[in-house]
Amino acid sequence: MSTAVENLGGQTPRGEKNLVTQLDYARAGQITPEMRAVAEAERRDPEFVRAGVAAGRIAIPANVRHLEKGLVPRGVGTGLSTKVNVNLGISGDVADASMEWEKVGTAEKYGADAIMDLSNSGKTRFFRQQLVERTPLMVGTVPMYDAIGYMEKPLVELTAEDLLATVRAHAEDGVDFLTIHCGINRRVIETFKETGRLMNIVSRGGSLLFGWMEVTGNENPFCEHYDEVLEICHEYDVTISLGDSCRPGCLFDANDAAETAEMIELGKLTKRAWDAGVQVMIEGPGHMAINEIAANVTMEKRLCHGAPYYVLGPLVTDVGVGYDHITAAIGGAISASAGADFLCNVTPAEHLCLPDAKDVLDGLIATRIAAHAADIAKGVPGAREADDRMGDARRRLAWGEMWDYALDPDTARARHEASPASTEGTCTMCGKMCAVRTVNKVFEGTTIDLDLE
């Protein structure tokens, strides 16, 4: 955990009265070591980061307990590089912890910024605690998934106190951001029922809360007791990721009345969280046609006051089953270039089964490509450098350097070496007719040998 912050006029010890979260310090005009670390990684001035955090445009999800265990701070928001999350966690049908740890290794090796533990079966706390202990990446969870197993009760018997206790357990364990579906209140449900949808509610957490509310007749506990949720988040500097219960699960439902009604509520909850000194991210779609994505991002930034936007894809078609890492990467690139800040990876197993480590790798690389392409379009400092170096390495046919600049050097090298070319320096696509080789020889004044026999 950090021990000091930088006041604009000197050093102030962390722990000053009422200053706990990154938002608290930023609003007090103080630059924390975490803000400075983000600024260095992003090639930004520390004051740029501090001002962004103070305004709510940037979040630094960094639970004070995870900082003690080696979290590397990362910033999410306007003016920063687009961040990428990897989902993992056991399910009731596939409870193989070793496979989940393999996914953790994949996330760390191939450049993820965050891991969300979506375990939803049995006692999940030990894995979550180990994850926080071991990984330097940001960790997120969804307490609603865990509540049934943690409290050992059926869904409809859970009380508001049970749900708040689950939130506290996750915060105490060092989770950096919590997805909590606070926006699906009675008003939103009334809009949902009145207007209808093709696929109803596809958010797992949102569906559980909808079911609980319908059976009990009560208001969403996370909405009704939002102040208590914020108190817990503030105590540990947990960033609240306001869940999109009504995110569209198909193109037909995108940007409909239910999604918009919930977004309006999330905007209200955002301001309340900031007033309580709690950092905020907003979760979004989902499935959405290409021509609707930019407008959706604009709507989120307007209704939620510029808070960082965290999107799942969006998937730009509903029929790419088995290839949804591609449909999501297309949507992610468009969404991030329009201003979204955080992309959740989607794997080829989406809609089909629990992904394995290879699925996670494929999804992660596709999502990183989307994020990187968007960062180039947004002019993020340094985003184009690797691409320009790759172009120079390709001109020189410097294969070893190409692997250094590739997002997945292992796959690139393996594919090239598996099909060795007979002409040194080329690949088996063009061989001696390699355009780069030919032009290089012209400029070198050497013989162009095109004898194909």
β pairing state of 30-31 and 58-59: unpaired
How many domains does the structure of the chain reveal?
A: 3
DSSP symbols for 170-234: HHHTT-SEEEE--S--HHHHHHHHHH--SS----HHHHHHHHHHHHH-PPPHHHHTHHHHHHHHH
Distance CA 133, CA 286 (A): 31
User: In which band, very low, low, confident or very high, does the pLDDT at 153 lie, cut at 50, 70 and 90?
Assistant: confident
Same-domain pairing of 354 and 431: no
The region, left, alpha or beta by phi > 0 then psi within -120 to 50, assigned to residue 74 is: beta
413 within domain boundaries: no
231 within domain boundaries: yes
Q: What is the pLDDT of residues 212-227, one digit of tens each?
A: 999 999 999 999 999 9
User: What pLDDT does 14 receive?
Assistant: 52
Contact 329, 371 (CB under 8 A): no
Q: What is the pLDDT of residues 360-376, one digit of tens each?
A: 999 999 999 999 999 99
Same-domain pairing of 141 and 195: yes
Judge whether residue 13 has pLDDT over 70.
no
Cis peptide before 111, with omega less than 30 degrees from 0?
Answer: no
Judge whether residue 23 has pLDDT over 50.
yes
Q: What is the pLDDT of residues 176-194, one digit of tens each?
A: 999 999 999 999 999 999 9
* Position with higher pLDDT, 136 vs 441: 136
Same-domain pairing of 44 and 81: no
What's the rounded mean pLDDT across residues 161-167? 96
Cis peptide before 143, with omega less than 30 degrees from 0?
Answer: no
User: What pLDDT does 146 receive?
Assistant: 87
Mean pLDDT of the chain: 93
What's the rounded mean pLDDT across residues 246-254? 98
Q: What does the angle CA 4 – CA 30 – CA 77 come to, to the nearest 5 degrees?
A: 105
User: What pLDDT does 16 receive?
Assistant: 57
Task: List the one residue out of 231, 281, 379, 270 whose CA is nearest residue 75.
Answer: 281
409 within domain boundaries: no
Same-domain pairing of 90 and 178: yes
Same-domain pairing of 105 and 148: yes
Q: What is the pLDDT of residues 372-398, one digit of tens each?
A: 999 999 999 999 999 999 999 999 999
Same-domain pairing of 423 and 332: no
User: What pLDDT does 9 receive?
Assistant: 38
DSSP symbols for 388-425: HHHHHHHHTT-HHHHHHHSSSHHHHHHHHHHS--SSTT
Q: Which tokens is 377 given?
A: 């379009």
Same-domain pairing of 316 and 449: no
Judge whether residue 321 has pLDDT over 80.
yes
* H-helix or E-strand spanning residue 104: helix 97-109
83 within domain boundaries: yes
User: What pLDDT does 227 receive?
Assistant: 98
| Domain carrying residue 436 | 419-453
Same-domain pairing of 236 and 133: yes
Q: What does the angle CA 189 – CA 193 – CA 196 come to, to the nearest 5 degrees?
A: 125
29 within domain boundaries: yes
In the structure, how many helices (H) and strands (E) does the chain have? Answer: 20, 13
Judge residue 399's burial from the number of C-beta atoms within 10 Å of its C-beta, 0-12 exposed, 13-18 middle, 19 or more buried: middle
What's the rounded mean pLDDT across residues 432-441? 92
Same-domain pairing of 323 and 443: no
Altogether, the residues listed in the chain come to a count of 453
67 within domain boundaries: no
411 within domain boundaries: no
Same-domain pairing of 252 and 298: yes
64 within domain boundaries: no
Contact 255, 296 (CB under 8 A): yes
User: For the domain that residue 277 is a member of, what is the CATH number?
Assistant: 3.20.20.540
